[in-house]
């Protein structure tokens, strides 16, 4: 069987899964175009995690090492709509990992969650390249 060379993504894709279920790795393959065996293309990774402890710092380093050099990384724990706007300048698919941490960051900072969500939806509506969003499916996994 022949590999599909390109897999056109819809404008927005949501990848859900339990904690440490492989959803980030799957989303990376979607955004980089390697899910069906094609050679990877460049993509933008918007990271919402902050290295608040050694465990999270280790996880962040593992994610970076796994992605390799074909990714542009934007670290933005709060202003996700702004990060998407910055990513748009690259004209490459975008992976946002992860919405659960982003919402947690907003709540912890006392930010307006509804307003930030509206801004995100507006940014997604005007984004020219595919965006892959990762989020935890609560109730699955270790917790």
Residues annotated as catalytic (active site), given as ranges? 63
Under 8 Å CB-to-CB from 55, ≥6 apart: which residues?
Answer: none
The residue among 142, 128, 110, 133 whose CA lies nearest residue 23 is 133
Q: Where are the beta strands (DSSP E) in 23-121?
A: 43-47, 71-75, 94-97
Tell me the two tokens of residue 127: 């984004």
CA distance 94 to 100: 17
Query: Rounded distance, CA 23 to CA 108, Å?
Result: 24
3 three-class SS: coil
């Amino acid at each position: 069987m022949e590999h599909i060379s390109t897999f056109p993504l819809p404008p927005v894709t949501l990848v859900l899964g339990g904690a440490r279920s492989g959803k980030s790795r799957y989303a990376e393959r979607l955004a980089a175009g390697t899910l069906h065996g094609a050679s990877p293309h460049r993509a933008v990774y918007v990271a919402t995690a902050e290295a608040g402890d050694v465990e999270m710092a280790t996880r962040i380093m593992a994610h970076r090492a796994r992605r390799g050099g074909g990714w542009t990384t934007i670290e933005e724990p709060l202003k996700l709509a702004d990060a998407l706007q910055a990513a748009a300048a690259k004209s490459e698919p975008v992976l946002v990992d992860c919405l659960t941490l982003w919402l947690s960051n907003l709540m912890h900072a006392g930010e307006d969650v509804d307003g930030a969500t509206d801004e995100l939806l507006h940014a997604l509506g005007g984004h020219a390249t595919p965006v892959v969003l990762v989020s935890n499916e609560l109730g699955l996994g270790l917790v």
